[in-house]
């Protein structure tokens, strides 16, 4: 029987700008080195406007390998291929060809992927699509109503074409994001992490308001966590009296903020017999610490279920 390819873990991390999402690429890199192999690296496919300066030491040490996607041509194709494991022959060259995994000399050293951020990916797909619609005067269309949403600006001999998004565009981009996220989970043996900004959406069943990962248009924000094995939210709490900095939190379960009745989505799928706390705080705001806690949770749950298993065998 042939075993289907599958990643080791798929996790979604979302939160406001500055809450520490990109930092988790460094934490994942540490986890991969310590648990999979000391020579393993995590690839960072970045479209984050801030880049990766906050984890530059991890880049310099070589256990996080970045690639800047926003300067590459054909962004939709690039995202499609990168989420399948393709990677530039030279990540520093925006024109370097993307190579499939079986053509990459360093593929065996890759232990994880960070896609930072899904919110920016969706925005890039939308911008590329609208630009092509405008420049081709409607011969390229991703929505039935697109033709009436193009316009031109500038002097008559130097006009630039633009297109405004229609409702159908959002559905098309959302479908692409669903596709890209799900195919990233086929990166066999990899730890896969996606980051997103946060935004309001609707529960896919009850239609009640919720906060969740921001994928363009908000219509599917409440559904996004179901595309991942785990979802956590990063947040900034009250000022720490010692450091004078906001306390950082990693929320592990659905929760509400004081004064706001709308819930925020989070679920790490810890075992009910050994549950994790509602959140991690301070220096423990780390994917490394989270995976340690999850391993301890499952180990404790295994011990608690052993007597029941033995009794069942004896019966």
270 versus 165: which is more confidently predicted? 270
pLDDT per residue as tens digits for the range 29-55: 999 999 999 999 999 999 987 789 889
Cβ-proximal residues to 228 (8 Å cutoff; 6+ apart), any chain: 10, 11, 12, 181, 194
Q: How far is CA 146 from the centre of its chain?
A: 29
Kindly tell me if the per-residue pLDDT of 310 is higher than 60.
Answer: no
The two beta strands, 191-196 and 198-202, are: unpaired
pLDDT per residue as tens digits for the range 241-256: 776 677 889 999 999 9
Q: What is the mean pLDDT of the chain?
A: 86
Q: How far is Cα 75 from Cα 31, in angstroms, rounded to an integer?
A: 30
Q: Domains of the chain: which residue ranges?
A: 9-234
Kindly tell me if the per-residue pLDDT of 81 is higher than 90.
Answer: yes
The pTM assigned to this predicted structure is: 0.87
Percent of the chain residues topping a pLDDT of 70: 85
Q: How far is Cα 157 from Cα 155, in angstroms, rounded to an integer?
A: 5
Question: What Cα–Cα distance (Å) separates residue 233 from each residue in 27, 152, 281?
Answer: 15, 41, 12
Q: How confident is the model over 215-223, as a mean pLDDT?
A: 81
pLDDT per residue as tens digits for the range 124-183: 988 888 887 777 665 556 655 555 566 666 777 777 666 667 667 788 888 889 999 999
Q: How far is Cα 257 from Cα 127, in angstroms, rounded to an integer?
A: 34
Q: How confident is the model over 273-280, as a mean pLDDT?
A: 92
pLDDT per residue as tens digits for the range 84-133: 999 999 999 999 999 999 999 999 999 999 999 899 999 998 888 888 77
Kindly tell me if the per-residue pLDDT of 266 is higher than 70.
Answer: yes
Q: How confident is the model over 47-73, as a mean pLDDT?
A: 90
How many CB atoms lie under 10 A from the CB of residue 119? 24
Q: How confident is the model over 65-90, as a mean pLDDT?
A: 93
- pLDDT for the residue numbered 216: 85
CATH class (in words) of the domain with range 9-234:
alpha beta
- pLDDT for the residue numbered 158: 75
Q: How many residues does the chain have?
A: 315
291 versus 169: which is more confidently predicted? 291
- pLDDT for the residue numbered 133: 76
Cβ-proximal residues to 273 (8 Å cutoff; 6+ apart), any chain: 300, 301, 304, 305
- pLDDT for the residue numbered 161: 66
| DSSP string across 34-68 | HHT-TT-EEEEEE--TTTTGGGHHHHHHTSEEEEE
Kindly tell me if the per-residue pLDDT of 236 is higher than 80.
Answer: yes
Angle among Cα 72, 11, 111 to the nearest 5 degrees reads 65
- pLDDT for the residue numbered 150: 67
Q: Which residue, 200, 203, 202, 180, is CA-closest to 192?
A: 180
How sure is the predictor about 313, in pLDDT bands with cuts at 50, 70 and 90?
A: low
């Amino acid at each position: 029987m042939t075993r289907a390819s599958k990643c080791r873990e798929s996790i979604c991390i979302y939160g406001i700008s500055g809450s520490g999402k990109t930092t988790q690429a460094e934490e994942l890199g540490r986890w991969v080195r310590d648990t999979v192999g000391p020579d393993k690296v995590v690839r960072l496919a970045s479209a984050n406007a801030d880049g990766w300066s906050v984890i530059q030491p991890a880049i310099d040490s070589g256990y996080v390998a970045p690639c800047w996607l926003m300067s590459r041509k054909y962004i939709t194709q690039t995202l499609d291929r990168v989420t399948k494991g393709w990677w530039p022959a030279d990540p520093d060259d925006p024109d370097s060809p993307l190579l499939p995994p079986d053509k990459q000399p360093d593929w065996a050293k890759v232990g994880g992927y960070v896609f930072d951020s899904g919110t920016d990916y969706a925005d890039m797909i939308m911008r590329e699509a609208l630009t092509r619609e405008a420049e081709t005067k409607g011969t390229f269309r991703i929505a039935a109503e697109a033709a009436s949403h193009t316009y031109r600006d500038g002097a008559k001999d130097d006009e630039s074409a633009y297109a405004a998004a229609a409702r159908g565009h959002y559905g098309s981009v959302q479908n692409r994001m669903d596709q890209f996220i799900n195919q990233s989970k086929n990166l066999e043996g990899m730890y896969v992490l996606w980051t997103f900004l946060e935004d309001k959406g609707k529960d896919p069943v009850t239609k009640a308001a919720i906060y969740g990962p921001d994928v363009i248009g908000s219509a599917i924000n409440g559904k996004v966590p179901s595309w991942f094995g785990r979802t956590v939210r990063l947040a900034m709490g009250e000022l720490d009296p010692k450091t004078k900095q906001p306390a950082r939190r990693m929320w592990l379960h659905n929760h509400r903020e004081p004064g706001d009745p709308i819930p925020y989505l989070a679920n790490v799928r810890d075992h009910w017999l050994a549950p994790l706390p509602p959140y991690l705080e301070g220096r423990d705001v780390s994917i490394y610490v989270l995976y340690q806690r999850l391993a301890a949770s499952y180990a404790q749950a295994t011990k608690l279920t052993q007597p029941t298993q033995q009794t069942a065998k004896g019966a």
